[in-house]
Every structure is written in structure tokens, then in C-alpha cells.
A and B are shown apart, each in its own frame.
Chain A
């Protein structure tokens, strides 16, 4: 007989396969697990076929005496953002036909976004760290969303991505218009 206390104990040490833990789909069981997790600032989230415990608020390191066990540096966050754009934002916004296949992106595609960094640094060190941290899975040189990427607050992340993409596309459109207007001038 598995108990909420056992489940909560495992969730602060790892993730649980959703198929093998049907108890967590039961309201009472999941409620008790959530309550236990919330006592230490965590929340129960189901994402990418797994159950995981996620901090309710990203810990900040400006609190006296606090030093995070795992920190994400700028490049790691940038790679997470790139993965989010490819694996979460694009499938929802491209108007693509519903597909059985899980969204994935080639490692080479990810490397294109970081031309200033060595391929080894991004594909081995950064992606390796993110894979260990549960943000990404790697199979045959393709990357899939890991449970912690799937568990990102998609409303807020999508909103930020939308603003950034919208601004980028409008500026690209305006630059194209500027070229057209200059060409009209040159030919006229």
C-alpha cells in the first residue's frame, strides 16, 4: 500500500511515472501529497507523462545565507528558452495539424541558435546539465521536452514569447518595407 507520505518523499528526490502512479490521479491522494509538498514551498505538477515537485516560486539567491543547490546560468536559461520556443511555443502557435508524435528538435537545429558558442559546449555540457536537471530528453540526436520544461508556466512563458516574437516579426517586416521603399526610390 503506497502512501501520500511516500509519494511526497520520492517527489522531493525525483519524478514519478504517471502510468505507474495512478494514485496521484485520485483527488484525495493527490491533495494530501500537494499539502505535504506545499509545506516546503513545492507544488505537484503533472507534465510530459510524469509527476514532479516544482518550486512555487523560483528561489532567489539574494536572501542572506541562501545558496541554491542547483542554479541555472544565463546560457542554460537561454537554451531552455530556445527549447521552449521549439518544443512548446511553436507546436501551439504554428497552427500545425495535431500529431501523434511528440515535438522534437534536432541537436543541430538548437546549435544554430548559439553560433557564438562551441557545439560541444552547448550540445554536451549545457544540454547534458539540462538533461540531468529534467528539462530535456535526448534520443538519437533529437531533443524532447523533459518534465521540467513541460512544467513551465506556459501562460506567462507564452506571453513573453509572443511579445518577443511579435516585436521581432514586426521589425523584420518594417526592415523589409524600408528596403522596398528604398528600391522604389532607386528605380523611380
Chain B
């Protein structure tokens, strides 16, 4: 994948060219390439030498009401810099087309792109983005993307980023419930409440935009998840704040009565040092040392030293065990299998299994069932409706089943 046309490589960009795994059309790169002329303005202002002076000069110009300036006026407006330095910085900004110069009139102007870049740089001239402002920032970025016509996918991605912030909030809150620090939990809940309020504001402000994209399932899914997180986090943060700040409601208080199971669960949930902290400077052992009579002590020692350690009885002499072959037990299912293989014509189950006594008949029938459950190669069984009734056996009747043997 080659370097896109018109893109200036950074002088510090000495690493190997990244390799893509999919065609470039399927990546965000074409959109980035298209926006490069605008994005490069940031690089030309921020990413080069004397960046802080250029940014400060542009911020000063943005605050001036005029839309165009001659060099002398610029030197007056940027009064905090030596006039010769103002001339140098202005010349640099003109070279990178942040300032345009009208030859005939001798006026300098901020180009449209430069005005946007300057406004954004001005807004971003803060020490850091505080986590409190994160969702609000993303909300404004969504508005900016819409105003600039960046496309609905860009707005969706920013929206999903805001949702990810709330998702992270939920995970943090649950994690902190296992931590024992009330202050950390309260702080997290307060932050969550701010994010929830900001997300509500975001959803309100972009209501029209979302409504216009109801036909897209990804917008609907994101909208649904945002609404769900707002509801969940709103409830949870409010309950955490109530609980931790000592304003537990009646429902919470109802669960605060203590029983044996609570004590048990509480004790198991705590480490030994946490339990020890409950009584650490309250429990003091008895102040005394038991006085020991020397005569009693030495008497006990004498008695103990006279004791003889018990010994186990000697082991009996070794004996060689008799070796006997294992007993062979008949396998009725195996025998039945042999009988079935010896059949030469279709035979009914009655003929094969039933004998004079009930006991023998049931044993042979069980062996037949066992054989069919064990071996697959036995002949097919054909079942017919009705039963055969027997006269010379203790068995009354048997369902009609034939073993289909054809030799």
C-alpha cells in the first residue's frame, strides 16, 4: 500500500510502512486521506518548530474582531512578542497556508481551514481532558462532525465511544463494590452520575439525528444500549450515593438487621488483618504471668523423662500368596449370540427364548435383549402386531417377533 498522494510524511516517520490485512477500501484510510489537507494544518501548526508561539499567536488573532490585518496591525495585536518575531512567525504561517496574503492590499487573513483549526486548538488549550468531561467532549465532537458533514458513520463511532465510557463506568462501579474504600466508591458514583447526565444531554441534543437514522440497525442498537446504560447507571449511582453517604433508604435499611448468616458471611468475606482491626487496641491479654513452683516443675520433668516411648509390634514374616486362575463366568448374551448364528431359517423369539419354566424363559429373553444391545451384526428382528399365546410353558404370551435368518 503506497503513500497516498499529497500526504507529507513526517521526518520522524522512519519505521517500516504498515502492512494492511484487507483492501484499503475496507479501512478508514480513504476517509483520512480525503481529510488530510485539513488535518495537515494541525501538523503544520502543532508538529513543527516554534509550535507554542504559533498557537499563541493564532489564539490572539482569533480573539481580535477584525477578519484581516496588515503586518503592522498584527504586530500591535500580538503586543507580547517582538515585532520582528511576529513578522517571522507570520511568514511561516503564510508558507504553510494557515494565513493567506493579498498581494494587492497587503492584508493577511486566516484561511477557512485555519479558522477551524485555530478554534479547535483554542478549545483544546487545557492541561488535560478530565474524566468528568469525557462524555460532554464526545457529545461536542459529534456535533462538530455533523456540522462539518463528516458523515453518519463518524458520528456513530463517536457515539459508540461515549457508550464505551458508560460501559467502563459500570464495570468500575461493580469492581469498587468489592473494594473496601467508601470514598473511592462514592467518587466513582459521583463521576458516573455526571456521565449519565451528560449522556442524557447527548441523547437529547442528537435526538433528531438518531430519528433520521432509525432505518439503520447499528444506530438503533447503539441508541438502545445507551438508554439501557443511562437507566442502569442512573439507578445504581443514585443508590450507591445514598448508601455510602449514610442516606440509606428504607429498602436498604430493611436488609441491615443482623442474623447468624450475616455474621458468617461477613467473617468469611474479611481477611484476618481486617478482622483484627476491629479489636486491635481494645483486646489486651491478662496482665499476669503464672507463677511456677520449681518443685512442681522439676517433678513434672522427672516424670516426663522417665516415660518410655511406645514402639509398634514387630512385623510378621512375609508370606507368598497363592496364585489362582480367575474364575470363568458364563456369558448368557455371548451364548445366545452363538445360538442366533447357528439358526438356518427365520425363527420366532418364542421358539428361541421361551422354555418350560418362567425363570429359564426370562433368563433367555434377557440374554437375547442383551445380545442385540451389544452386537450390531445380528439378524434383523421383524415385529408383528399381536401376541403368541403358549400352552406348554409358564409363560402366558409373548409379542410376535421373528429373527430374520436367511441362509
Q: Do the beta carbons of A14 and B285 come within 8 Å of each other?
A: no
Residue on B with the closest CB to A149? B283
Q: Do the beta carbons of A165 and B262 come within 8 Å of each other?
A: yes
Most interface-central of B264, B269, B283 (chain A CB within 10 A): B283
B177 touches which of A86, A115, A171 (Cβ 8 Å) = A171
Known: A152-B282, A168-B269, A170-B243. A81 touches B255 (CB 8 A): no
Contacts of B275 in A (CB 8 A): 77-78, 81-82, 113
Q: Do the beta carbons of B268 and A14 come within 8 Å of each other?
A: no
Chain B interface: which of A18-26, A27-35, A54-62?
Answer: A54-62
Give the CA-CA distance A153 to B240 in the complex, in Å: 32
Give the CA-CA distance A181 to B239 in the complex, in Å: 12
Residue on B with the closest CB to A12? B288
What 1/0 mask marks residues of chain A from 150 to 188 whose CB sits below 8 Å from any chain B CB? 001100110011001111111111110110011011001
Q: Do the beta carbons of B239 and A177 come within 8 Å of each other?
A: yes
Contacts of A135 in B (CB 8 A): 283, 285
A72 touches which of B244, B258, B283 (Cβ 8 Å) = B283
A174 touches which of B243, B269, B273, B288 (Cβ 8 Å) = B243
A17 within 8 A of B: no
Contacts of B80 in A (CB 8 A): none
Contacts of A107 in B (CB 8 A): none
Residue on A with the closest CB to B258? A93
Contacts of B182 in A (CB 8 A): 167
Q: Do the beta carbons of A153 and B177 come within 8 Å of each other?
A: no
Give the CA-CA distance A133 to B255 in the complex, in Å: 36
Contacts of B56 in A (CB 8 A): none
**Contact residues of B: prevailing secondary structure:** helix
A39 within 8 A of B: no
| Least distance between B171 CB and chain A CB atoms (Å) | 11
Which bucket holds chain B's interface residue count? Answer: 35 or more
| Least distance between A160 CB and chain B CB atoms (Å) | 5
B328 within 8 A of A: no
Which bucket holds chain A's interface residue count? Answer: 35 or more
Give the CA-CA distance A85 to B266 in the complex, in Å: 10
**Contact residues of A: prevailing secondary structure:** helix
B289 within 8 A of A: yes
B263 within 8 A of A: yes
Q: Do the beta carbons of A71 and B258 come within 8 Å of each other?
A: no
Contacts of A153 in B (CB 8 A): 282
Known: A160-B278, A167-B182, A173-B252. A77 touches B258 (CB 8 A): no
Task: Report B224-275 residues with CB < 8 Å from chain A CB.
Answer: 228, 232, 235-236, 239-240, 243-244, 248, 252, 255-260, 262-270, 272-275
Contacts of B297 in A (CB 8 A): none
Known: A12-B287, A112-B267, A170-B244. A182 touches B279 (CB 8 A): no
A90 within 8 A of B: yes
A51 within 8 A of B: no
Contacts of B285 in A (CB 8 A): 70-72, 133-135, 148
A125 within 8 A of B: no
Ordered by A's residue number, 10 sampled pairs between the chains whose C-beta atoms are within 8 Å are A70-B285, A71-B285, A82-B275, A86-B260, A94-B258, A133-B285, A164-B274, A168-B265, A168-B269, A170-B243
**Which B residues fall within an 8 A CB radius of A?**
173-174, 177-178, 180, 182, 228, 232, 235-236, 239-240, 243-244, 248, 252, 255-260, 262-270, 272-291
Q: A12-B288, A164-B270 are in contact. List 5 more A-B contacts (CB 8 A).
A: A75-B276, A80-B279, A134-B285, A149-B283, A169-B262
